[in-house]
Amino acid sequence: MAMAERDPVSGKNTTGHEWDGIKELNSPLPRWWVIVFYLTVAWAVGYWIAYPSWPTLHTYAKGVLGYTSRGEVAQDIAKAKLAQAGWMAKLKTATVEQINTNPELREYAMAGGAVAFRENCAPCHQQGGAGAYGFPRLAADRWIWGGALAQIQTTITHGSRWAADPETHRMDMPRFGDDKVLNEDQISKVADYVVALYKAPDTANTLPGKAIFAEHCVACHGEKGVGNTEVGAPSLKTAVWLYSGTKEGIMAQVHSPKMGVMPAWGAKLDEAVIKELTVYVHSLGGGR
C-alpha cells in the first residue's frame, strides 16, 4: 500500500497514488465550495418535487405546488381587471370637473383618454389633436362648440350635425351664394373684410365689406368676428382655420358652406371613456 508523504517542492501532502514515479498531490476542493455544491443539488431535487418538471408518457409531472405559468398570467389579468373596474366605477360617478382636479383620477383618465383618442379620434383629428382640413384642431384655443370641460363632453357625446342623435349640435351657416343672398361682388368684399380682421385689423374698418359683415355675419360670428360657441360659429379673428383663411377659401365658405359632421360617441363608447376623452382633449392645449 502506497503511503501519503509530504511533497518537498510544493510542501503539500500527496495522496499516496503513484504512477511511474509521478505522485498525485492531495489538493481537495475548498470546503465552502463543496457545501454550496451539495446545497444546489438539494435545491434542484426540491424544485423537481415542487414544480412542474419532466415529461411523462401523456402529460408532465405537475409538481406538488400545482404551479402553472398560464395560471399566473390568468391571475394577473384578473387582478388588473379588478383594479381597472374600480377606476372605471370612480370615473363614472365623478364629474369631469372632479376628475380633472383630482390628481390620481386625472392621471388615470389621461392615460385611458390618450389610448381611446388614438383609436377613435386620431383618424379625423390627427395625432395629438393637430387637426386637418375640415377637422378642427383640438390643440388650439379656438373652439367651435366651446373648450370648457362640460362643453367638450357634450360635443363628444352628441357630435355635430349627427342625424341619429336628437341632441346633436345643429346650426347651419346660410348658403349665401347658392341661395343668392349675396352676389359674387358682395362675397368678394366680405371675404376681404374677414381676411383683414385677422391680418390687418386697423384697415378692416375702412373696407366696404364691413357693412355686409355687420348685416349678414355678426348674428353668428359676433361683433368683430370673435365667434360664438352657442351657435357653433368659429372665431374669424384667427390663425387656425377649419377650412381655409385665404380669400378664396373664405369666399368658397360664404358661397357654399361646408358643414362639418362629427359622429356622436354617446351610443358607442362607455360613459367613463367619454370622460377620459374629455379630460384628454381639454389638456391638449386649448382647454378652458
Site of interaction with ligand HEC (CB under 6 A): 120-121, 123-125, 134-136, 138, 143-146, 152, 155-156, 160, 169, 171, 173-174, 176, 190, 194, 216-217, 219-221, 231-234, 236, 241-243, 250, 253-254, 258-263, 265, 277, 281
For residue 44, count other CB atoms closer than 10 A to its CB: 11
Closer to ligand HEC by Cβ: residue 105 or 190: 190
CA distance 287 to 153: 12
Residue 239, C-alpha cell as written in the block: 390663425
The Cα-based distances of 59 to 52, 53, 64 in angstroms read: 10, 11, 15
**Cα dihedral: 143, 149, 151, 155 (round 10):** 90
> Shortest Cβ distance from residue 157 to ligand HEC (Å)?
10
Closer to ligand HEC by CB, 15 or 126: give it.
126
Question: Cβ closer to ligand HEC: 12 or 258?
Answer: 258
Q: From residue 70, give the alpha-carbon distance in Å to each of 47, 75, 77, 97.
A: 19, 9, 11, 41
Give the C-alpha separation, 194 to 227, whole Å.
12
- Closest CB 150 distance from ligand HEC, rounded Å: 12
Using left for φ > 0, alpha for ψ between -120 and 50, and beta otherwise, residue 105 falls in alpha
Q: Closer to ligand HEC at the Cβ: 105 or 232?
A: 232
| Smaller CB separation from ligand HEC, 112 or 232 | 232
Q: Which is nearer to ligand HEC, 108 or 241 (CB)?
A: 241
| CA gap 145, 228 in Å, rounded | 8
Residue 39 beta carbon to ligand HEC: minimum distance, rounded to whole angstroms:
59
CB of 57 to ligand HEC, least distance (A): 55
Cell of 276: 377620459
Whole-angstrom distance, CA of residue 21 vs CA of residue 218: 117
Which amino acid type is present at position 99?
A: I
Q: 172: phi > 0 → left, psi -120 to 50 → alpha, else beta; which?
A: beta
Min separation Cβ 239 and ligand HEC, Å: 10
Min CB(202)–ligand HEC separation in Å: 19
**Whole-number minimum distance, CB 225 to ligand HEC, in Å?**
8
Q: Please give the Cα distance from 247 to 188 (Å, whole number).
A: 8
Query: 105 or 233, CB closer to ligand HEC?
Result: 233
